[in-house]
Each structure stands twice: as C-alpha cells, then as structure tokens.
A and B are shown apart, each in its own frame.
Chain A
Amino acid sequence: MNSHPRLLLRKPLALIGIGLVLAHLIAALTAPLWIPYDPTALVGAALEPPNEEFLFGTDELGRDFLSRVFMGGRVAILVAFSAGVIAAVGGALIGLSAAYHGGAIDDLVCRLVELKLAIPSILFVSLFVTGFGQSLGVLIAVIAIIKMMGAIRTVRAAGLQLMNLGYVRAAQLRGESASSVIVRELLPNVIDLLLVEFALRSSSALLLVSALSFLGLGLSPPTPDWGLMIHAGLAAIHSEPWLILIPAVCISTLVIGVNFATEGIADAWGLDAARGGAHG
C-alpha cells in the first residue's frame, strides 16, 4: 500500500477530484460559522439580482441565496455518505457471507440482487415513500438498500476468488467459525475495494437524492438543498438564471469531484471502477 499516495500524485484527474471534494467538504462543514444570513429567514425583497448586500441575490421568497447555496449541500451529503457507508459495510458482510457459504444462501442473495436491479431506483424509492411517507430516515434507509445491491455483487465476486487462498482454507481447517473467517481472513482483503465501493455508491447516492429532491420526493422545503433550489428556479428561468446556474455548478462539481477521485484511486490501486458504473 506504500506506493499508493505517490502513484496518486501523478494522476492530475485524481488530484482535481480530491481538491473538489475537499473544497466541498470544508465549505459544507464550516458554512454555519460564516454565512451572512439565516438560510431560511426572509431577509430582503424577492428575486433581487446579485448586489453588495446579497452577493448571489435573493430567491423567490426573499431569502439570501448565498447562505442557502452554502448550506444547500449539507443534508444531501449527509444522506448520500450515510447511505454509502451502510451500502459498503452491508454489501461487504452480505457479499462475503454469500461467497463463503455458497449454495442456497448464495443463490438467494444473487436472486435478490438481480430482483432489485430490475427496479428503477426512482420507482423503488417511490414505492417506499408512498408506503412510509417522506422522512430523512426513510430516505437514507431506502437509498442505502438500493446502493447496497451493487456493492454486494462486487464484493461477492471478489470474495469467491479469495475462497481458494491457502490461509482461508487453513482457517477453515483450524475449525474457525464462519463469522470469524469472514471478518478476520476475507474482510481485510477487500478493504481497498470497499473504499472504492463506498465512494462509487456515495456519488451515485448523491445523484439519486438530488434528483429525488428535484422531483419533490426527497428532502422537503424549507431545507436548503440544491435539487430543491433548481426546481424552484425553473419558474424564474427566463429572468433569474443564476438561481439555477449556481446550485447546478455546486451539485455537478461535487459529483464530478467524487468520481474523478474514485477513478484515480481505483486506477492507482489496480481496481476496475468502470465495472461498478455510476448508475449501479
């Protein structure tokens, strides 16, 4: 693993990606400390163009747009990253268990994964939102389940290749329990893969959650959120295009950053990020 950081430095794409992600994370974490106004307070006239008092102007209700933009990634990032962590960890445990046990358990897991892959993500969320209603917890759980399926697939494939390794057989012959072999022998081998999976799933979760907010099925007003802002901005697209352009640049640079970084890291570690795909 020692050569990884230096390999990464030679990949301009990865550096741009890491830079973008860091900038976004710092902005999202520190925003509450320095934004000029409360992002949900009505502080000016509606739809003011950018001026000295409001650098990005005001939105359709007269809220400071700069404050809203800088607060607008926080909830989406929280949802996407929590879903990404759950998806990667759950995917690892289920994928490795399926690979370890094989047989009926493996078949069942594979069928379930295929079943989920046949349902478009937005439909899957729609079904659950219709049943459970709209809340942050439901959103994280549903997106985590969706993204976990792809992770299970990748980790299971990697796990199958590990099953023939000498020390895995040795652990089995020593009489170690299934859970101990999975956690102590198999898991350490897929840590690299898991990191890439986490990044891939987080970036596609980010796309999904912002699309859902845009559709009115994700986060709800008055939460400052880029997807919601772009939806609201559509009404004023002819006169106040910056209300769309600024949040559009924010969400795009964040996802591009995560994907550039993932591609670079996967490349440097000799993993194939293309296989996962952004929509997986």
Chain B
Amino acid sequence: MLSVIARRLSLSLATLLALAVFIFAATEIMPGDALDVILSSDEIASIPPERLAQMKRDLGLDRPALERLGSFLLNAVQGDFGRTLISKTPVADIIAYPMRNSLALALLVIAIAFPLAILVGIIGACWHRTPTDHVLATATIVGYSIPEFVIGTLLVLGFAVALPWFSATITVDTRAPVLELLKVSALPVATIVIGSVAYLSRILRVGMIEALSADNIERLRMTGVPPWRVVFRHALPSAVIPCLTAMALYAAALVSGLVVVELVFSIPGLGQELVRGVVRREVHVVQAIALACAVIVVTLNLAADLAVLALDPRARSQ
C-alpha cells in the first residue's frame, strides 16, 4: 500500500517537473525574446549594439537556455516568478488575488456541478433506454455543444438584459472579500455548471448503467432492498469510484471554462490576467499562470487516484 502511494506521488512530481520544463520551453526557446516585447523592431535597429547587449544582460537573456531553465525552476519552487517586462512588478503580486478569486469560483462550481451531475447520471441510468433517458442524453449533447462564451452571453441576454435580475458585468474589486464576489457570480457560475453537468453526467451515466447491471445489485433487488437504497448505497459508490480518474481530467476543462467566463463577465480572475499576459506577450505572467494551473490539475489528479486507492480494495491489491 505504502509503496503504491509512494510510486503515485513520485509520478505526480515527475509530471509536474516535466510540465514546468515544457512551459519554460514553449515560451522561452521560441523565436523572438523579451527584447522584442519591450522594443519595436525600429528601436532595436536604432539602438547601439553595446546598449542592446547590456539590456540583454539585465534581462538575463545572455545566459544559456539550460541555465535559465534551472533558475526558473529554482525560483518557481520558492514562489518567485520574476517581474513583468514593462512595469517591473513582481508577477507573484499580480496573480495572487486573481488566483484566489478564480479558485473560489472553481470550488463553488464543483460544489454545485458534482451533485447535479450525479443526479442527472443516476436518472439517465435508472431510466435507461426510456424517453426520459433519451431526452436527458440529447440535452447533455446540446449542453456541451454550445460554447461556454455563448451560454454566458445568452444568460446575460436573458437574465440581465431582457429580465434585469442580475448585472451583466461584475464590478467587484480584485481584492474584495471572496464572499462579495461569489454573491454576484450567479450567472457566471450557472454558465460553467451547465457545461460541467453535461460533461460529467455523461461519464457517470455510463458508469451507473454498468454498476446497476452487476450481479450483486440484482441480488439486492431480489432480496427486497428498497430501490433508492440499492441505487444510492450500493450502486452509486461502485459507479463513482472508476469515474473519479476521468472526472479529475475535468479539472483541465474547468480551467478553460473559467478563463472564458471571466472574460464574458469581466471577473477579476486568473483568466483575465492570462489573456492580458498573452496579448502583451508578458512571458513571465503566462508562465506563472500556466504553472499554477498545472499544480492544481496534477494535485486534483493525485487526489482522485488516492481516493480510488482509499475507497476501492481492488485498486490496492494491484
């Protein structure tokens, strides 16, 4: 058991290291460097070469790539992601509050989407091959076929413009208390929940159908255990456990969804910072956000696998 956990932990660490190297490589070894961001091509041509070399030294661009990779990793472990190229603000300061806001939103979405998805999955499985199941299955396809930014804008049109119940944009300050943000985030949360439920309930429905057709469930039914108890107490756990790993992959989809929704509703979160960073080619901001998301996704995957180990005796014996 311990060796299984140790192996799983080291795999996560290796994944994280590989992701960090990849993030560095994708942004730093590409054509063009930080100087191209700060200066236009005319400026580069007009500045004397000695001055240009000096600027390169200041940015650390004269060192070999491997050496820069090493210091990138060392600094990142200590929470230092460098400074922005233009304003020279520490990147860690820029992303701290937006990250908190995005995390709070993500947790709220998960807290709502998971129970809902389980419910929809169960209904689909219990009424398998009936009109109810077909309608739900069709609705889930529609649900994940509509882009999140379209769902978001349509919700704004419906519930902020046509029926003025909510505000179309979120005007909360970046550093405002989390609760204040969550209070006005009904529409953005609903946007991601719709897509998430469509995505997760599909996986759960398949797992539930398999679980319900197992022999032990049939036996429980025949011995007169109440149907709701069979479903929730016996079939659900064995359906959810194999789905946990697939559901952890949903974390990656959730991050993408958050980025889009933050832009639709102008939520002061990581997504806004990311897009701003890419447009301004602020390499260090993009690296830091990518690394933060990688940590979150890898941790969630690890948590899912450990949960499977804890809950499923079959996984432990392997």
Q: A126 to B144, Cβ gap below 8 A?
A: no
Q: B199 to A118, Cβ gap below 8 A?
A: no
Assess whether B293 is interfacial by the CB under 8 Å rule: yes
Q: A211-B147, A256-B145 are in contact. Are A237 and B153 (CB under 8 A)?
A: yes
Tell me the complex Cα distance, A27–B32, Å.
40
Contact with A along B12-28 (1 / 0, CB 8 A): 00010011001100111
Contact with A along B258-277 (1 / 0, CB 8 A): 01100110000000001101
Which residues of B lie under 8 Å from residue A214 when comparing CB positions? 147, 149, 260, 263
Which residues of A lie under 8 Å from residue B161 when comparing CB positions? 237-238, 241
- Excluding A119-B22, A277-B202, 18 further A-B contacts by CB distance (< 8 Å) are A115-B15, A123-B255, A123-B256, A123-B290, A126-B277, A126-B286, A130-B286, A131-B29, A210-B147, A217-B275, A230-B149, A230-B150, A234-B264, A237-B156, A237-B168, A248-B150, A255-B145, A256-B146
Query: In whole Å, how far is A220's beta carbon from the nearest beta carbon of chain B?
Result: 11
Which residues of B lie under 8 Å from residue A128 when comparing CB positions? 26, 30
9 nearest CB pairs, A to B: A131-B30, A120-B255, A127-B26, A279-B253, A256-B145, A255-B145, A122-B256, A278-B144, A120-B252
Assess whether A58 is interfacial by the CB under 8 Å rule: no
Q: A259 to B141, Cβ gap below 8 A?
A: yes
Q: A274 to B275, Cβ gap below 8 A?
A: no
Residue A119 contacts which of B29, B274, B294 (CB distance < 8 angstroms)?
Answer: B294
Tell me the complex Cα distance, A239–B298, Å.
44
Q: A118 to B26, Cβ gap below 8 A?
A: no
Q: B147 to A255, Cβ gap below 8 A?
A: yes
Give B281's nearest chain A residue, CB to CB: A130
Name 8 A/B residue pairs within 8 A (Cβ), A-sorted: A122-B259, A126-B286, A127-B23, A130-B281, A131-B31, A215-B260, A274-B202, A277-B203
Tell me the complex Cα distance, A277–B198, Å.
10
Q: B286 to A127, Cβ gap below 8 A?
A: yes
Number of interface residues of A (CB under 8 A): 52
Query: In whole Å, how far is B294's beta carbon from the nearest beta carbon of chain A?
Result: 6
Assess whether A132 is interfacial by the CB under 8 Å rule: yes
Q: B147 to A133, Cβ gap below 8 A?
A: no
Give A239's nearest chain B residue, CB to CB: B161
Interface residues of B in 23-81 (CB under 8 A from A): 23, 26-32
Assess whether B142 is interfacial by the CB under 8 Å rule: yes
Which residues of A lie under 8 Å from residue B286 when comparing CB positions? 126-127, 130
Interface residues of A in 200-249 (CB under 8 A from B): 203, 207, 210-211, 214-217, 227, 230-231, 233-234, 237-238, 241, 244-245, 248
Assess whether A251 is interfacial by the CB under 8 Å rule: yes
Contact with B along A98-134 (1 / 0, CB 8 A): 0000000000000100110111111100111111110
Assess whether B179 is interfacial by the CB under 8 Å rule: no
Assess whether A59 is interfacial by the CB under 8 Å rule: no
> What range describes how many residues of B lie at the interface?
35 or more
Which residues of B lie under 8 Å from residue A111 when comparing CB positions? 18
Assess whether B283 is interfacial by the CB under 8 Å rule: yes
Q: A129 to B30, Cβ gap below 8 A?
A: no
Assess whether B308 is interfacial by the CB under 8 Å rule: no
Q: A237-B168, A241-B157 are in contact. Are A119 and B290 (CB under 8 A)?
A: yes
Majority SS at the chain B contact face: helix
Give B23's nearest chain A residue, CB to CB: A127
Give B282's nearest chain A residue, CB to CB: A130
Assess whether B178 is interfacial by the CB under 8 Å rule: no
Q: B274 to A123, Cβ gap below 8 A?
A: yes
Q: A248 to B153, Cβ gap below 8 A?
A: yes
Residue A244 contacts which of B157, B202, B279 (CB distance < 8 angstroms)?
Answer: B157
Q: A120 to B297, Cβ gap below 8 A?
A: yes
Assess whether A51 is interfacial by the CB under 8 Å rule: no
Tell me the complex Cα distance, A251–B157, Å.
17
Residue B150 contacts which of A130, A251, A274 (CB distance < 8 angstroms)?
Answer: A251
Q: B253 to A120, Cβ gap below 8 A?
A: yes
Assess whether B133 is interfacial by the CB under 8 Å rule: no
Q: B146 to A252, Cβ gap below 8 A?
A: yes
Tell me the complex Cα distance, A133–B23, Å.
16
Q: B149 to A122, Cβ gap below 8 A?
A: no
Tell me the complex Cα distance, A241–B162, Å.
10
Tell me the complex Cα distance, A211–B274, Å.
14
Query: In whole Å, how far is B244's beta carbon from the nearest beta carbon of chain A?
Result: 15
Assess whether A260 is interfacial by the CB under 8 Å rule: yes
Residue B260 contacts which of A211, A251, A252 (CB distance < 8 angstroms)?
Answer: A211
Residue A120 contacts which of B26, B145, B154, B256 (CB distance < 8 angstroms)?
Answer: B256
Assess whether B138 is interfacial by the CB under 8 Å rule: yes
Query: In whole Å, how far is A202's beta carbon from the nearest beta carbon of chain B?
Result: 12
Tell me the complex Cα distance, A132–B275, Å.
15
Q: A255 to B146, Cβ gap below 8 A?
A: yes
Give A118's nearest chain B residue, CB to CB: B297
Which residues of B lie under 8 Å from residue A278 when comparing CB positions? 144-145, 199
